[in-house]
Amino acid sequence: MQTYHNTVSGKQTEAKEHQEIFNPATAVSLGMAPLNSEHDVDLAVEAAKHAQKSWASVSDQERRETVARIAQVLEDNSAYLSGLITQEQGKPLSGPGSRFEMQACVGWTQVPSKLELPPEIVYEDDERKDVLYRQPQGVVAAIAPWNWPLMIAIWQIIPAIRMGNTVVLKPSEYTPIATLEMVRLINQVLPAGVLNTVSGDGRIGAALTSHPDINKIMFTGSEATGRRIIVASSKNLAPITLELGGNDAAILMPGTDASAVAEGLFWGAFLNAGQTCACIKRLYVHEDDYDVVVAALGNVARQTPVGDGMDEGNLMGPLQNKMQYQKVKELVDDARGNGCDIMEFGDIPSTGYFLPITLVGNIRDGQRLVDEEQFGPALPIIRYQTLDDAVASANHLSAALGASVWANSAEEAESTALQLEAGTVWINQHGAIHPMVPFGGNKASGYGVEFGIEGLKAVTQPRIISIKK
């Protein structure tokens, strides 16, 4: 059985304890992943701190060139890492699956390698000139989730090192292997200590985020864990970028052609079996359009094969872990017990954490499947009478990561989009993130942004040089 390792100061490290990782589709063992101690966290942070000043002193152009080399490493190893993602996380190789995730890793690495953030003259007159410089924050603690384990890790790693920071990354304890292997490969082109890893559960995450030598925290995950990280950061006063998931609402405008938007709505909701922060989690449909929309979504669902992601014919995989499987099943069972219409599609394997593609009708605000983020392949479809009703329902929860409005024309949707409380509101698409477009949540979905120039600024600290003439 293969044993995987952390990377600290450019070297593979041994751990005293390990955990076995299993394929969520087949229950086949993938190997042993390291379980670290708080002492291991100290060593990784020390390595990052030791490397940071020399890395920051490297020219901006050289750092950009290094990041471009990382993109090539990711490209060259895409097939290997895609296979690991599918076996460990569950998403299929095909469609919007693990190959898609690796393409995103490459793209979100290439773009920062081409961006510049030069000094900016913020004020000048006859007597003075004030110039704003962007300096690295130091050592970044990055906590990555299990749903897009490599892509979201790249979102955290690349801007940080691009701007002269060093990183200690903790992958999710559910999906450590592919991430550890990606970091091992990236280290082939990085100076020792620039990118390090630690592995384990929330105890290790807490030790990392509260460490006195951490200067910035980046976290994607649950609201509950995000709140604990905020408390932990009081020990080092590190600024935080938090993406805490969402319960994204989509509003279908009255009279919208259901056949034209059905596929976009479907994948907006069921990408990665619904295990995506910015997936449609609630769909609001006008009462006059309800039956047509449900039928159109059902037609797409019937044509979507579910099964082991290593089979090229499958487009949807399992839930990643037993905890999530049981949560989604419980929410659907609750809706069933409350008289909702449960429409299930597809033949699912008997082995693995598979649930059928599920549309849930005759449901309303206040029921658990609507008010709680399901993070799985079950979509509640809620009738509304007026657009004001739909907007009020969409905004009534504390989650506010994304939202979308669907209409026969974009112009028809804009005024409604402006009323929705979310970090991003898409029109006639959902979850359409881009490496140049800032992305982040509102309300209980977190704060701070990632991507593009604003994402680079988020991993720096401003320094003003004020000159008397």
Catalytic residue, candidates 101, 173, 243, 450 = 243
Distance CA(313)–CA(176), nearest Å, equals: 26
* pLDDT at residue 1, rounded to an integer: 86
Q: Tell me the pLDDT tens digit for each residue of 335-380.
A: 999 999 999 998 999 999 999 999 999 999 999 999 999 999 999 9
Do residues 33 and 21 touch, judged by C-beta distance below 8 A? yes
Do residues 387 and 253 touch, judged by C-beta distance below 8 A? yes
DSSP labels, 359-428:
EEES--TTSHHHHS---SSEEEEEEESSHHHHHHHHHSSSEESEEEEE-SSHHHHHHHHTTS-SSEEEES
| Pair of tokens at residue 214 | 């951490």
Parallel, antiparallel or unpaired: strands 29-35 and 120-124: unpaired
At 394, is the pLDDT very low, low, confident or very high (cuts 50, 70, 90)? very high
| Pair of tokens at residue 402 | 């994304």
> What integer best gives the mean pLDDT of the chain?
97
Taking residue 78's Cβ as centre, other Cβ atoms within 10 Å add up to 17
Q: Tell me the pLDDT tens digit for each residue of 279-288.
A: 999 999 999 9
Parallel, antiparallel or unpaired: strands 195-197 and 424-427: unpaired
Is 279 known to be catalytic?
no
Cα-based distances in Å from 244 to 35, 247, 337, 393: 25, 10, 29, 20
Catalytic residue, candidates 101, 105, 277, 279 = 277
Nearest in space to 306 (alpha carbons), one of 351, 341, 264? 351
Residue with tokens 């003439």: 469
Cα-based distances in Å from 347 to 94, 247, 354, 375: 18, 27, 10, 20
Tell me the average pLDDT across 410-415. 94
* pLDDT at residue 378, rounded to an integer: 98
Q: Tell me the pLDDT tens digit for each residue of 186-243.
A: 999 999 999 999 999 999 999 999 999 999 999 999 999 999 999 999 999 999 999 9
Is 277 known to be catalytic?
yes
Amino acid type, 434: H
Establish whether domains 6-244+445-468 and 248-434 are of one fold: no
Tell me the average pLDDT across 246-250. 97
Tell me the average pLDDT across 151-171. 98
DSSP labels, 157-203:
HHHHHHTT-EEEEE--TTSHHHHHHHHHHHTTSS-TTSEEE---SHH
Q: Is residue 45 predicted with pLDDT exceeding 90?
A: yes
Q: Is 75 left (phi over 0), alpha (psi -120 to 50) or beta?
A: alpha
Q: Tell me the pLDDT tens digit for each residue of 99-157.
A: 999 999 999 999 999 999 999 999 999 999 999 999 999 999 999 999 999 999 999 99
Q: Where are the domains of the chain?
A: 6-244+445-468, 248-434
Q: What is the CATH architecture assignment of 248-434?
A: 3-Layer(aba) Sandwich (3.40)
At 245, is the pLDDT very low, low, confident or very high (cuts 50, 70, 90)? confident
- State in words which class domain 6-244+445-468 has: alpha beta
Q: Among residues of the chain, what percentage have pLDDT more than 90?
A: 99
> What is the b/e burial string over 356-374, where b = at least 16 CB atoms within 10 angstroms of the residue's CB?
bbbbbbebebebbbbbbbb
* pLDDT at residue 277, rounded to an integer: 96
Parallel, antiparallel or unpaired: strands 128-136 and 195-197: unpaired
Tell me the average pLDDT across 91-98. 96
